[in-house]
Structure 1
Amino acid sequence: MVDTGKALRSLWEDRCTLIAREAVTDPDTHLTGYCEAVRFKNEPCRLSFGTLPTAAGEPLAAVGQTVKVFLDPALEIPPGSKLTITHKGRTEEYTQSGKAAVYSAHQEIPVELFGGWA
């Protein structure tokens, strides 16, 4: 019997690091601030690019790009996290742009370029 999860992960040549913002309370002032915390580092993944035609109301149809990252389903990706992904030697920062589709062998997460913390 073929292990589809193992076969799928053999295609994952990219690497992903997840950085989340965590609340930190100063013990002296009792003010809460936020700091970046690495949740996982250098996990295998696969970045996938697609095109999506969009109707912009102009005579010519525009084409948008969709980006998904494929990861191990056991990894939890909090909403709003920053994903630093190295794909074919280039490193870019992304953020989750939709709900993850979780399957038995992987999860698919729609992402977009990271524009800063909200």
Structure 2
Amino acid sequence: MVNRTRKAIEMLYRDKCTIVEYQPIKDPITKRTNNKEVVILENQPCKLSYKNVTSTEQGKVAKLEQTIKLFISSDIEIKAGSKLIINNKEYVRSGESAIYPNHQEIILELLKDKA
């Protein structure tokens, strides 16, 4: 039953996710250890969901907030601080994963430009 449900959910996945972690890497020449981006997983099927919420406070202009949620296999571990590249956009995990038997849901934030 779980496998059929999982397959049905994964049929909805239209996006591909690349997971990047920062890991300590020792430079063989300088012998210094620096955190570098390391690709952990590439082209993992997933689905992005967007929800727009308008909030207003008395006397203030309406504020539009967008919630971005990632649906991905529950077998994949995405560590805090990981960067996710989905549809050529970079995101970071902004909360704990909600893990279900057939999938997990993760709230994401767009990665701010490094200016």
TM-score (norm 2): 0.86
| TM-superposed deviation, 1:61 | 2.4
Report % sequence identity. Answer: 39
| Cα pair distance change 1:96/1:58, threshold 3 Å | farther
| Cα pair distance change 1:30/1:18, threshold 3 Å | same
Name stretches of at least 5 consecutive residues in structure 2 with no aligned partner: none
| Cα pair distance change 1:9/1:92, threshold 3 Å | same
One-letter amino acid of the counterpart of residue 60, structure 1: V
Q: Which residue of 1 aligns with 2:48?
A: 47
Alignment coverage as a number of residue pairs: 113
- Structure 1 runs of 4+ aligned residues shifted over 6 Å read none
Q: Which residue of 2 aligns with 1:66?
A: 67
Distance 1:115 1:62 in 2: 19
The alignment partner of 1:73 has SS state of coil
TM-score (norm 1): 0.84
Backbone CA RMSD of aligned residues:
2.1
Name stretches of at least 5 consecutive residues in structure 1 with no aligned partner: none
| TM-superposed deviation, 1:57 | 5.9
Are 2:106 and 1:105 aligned?
no
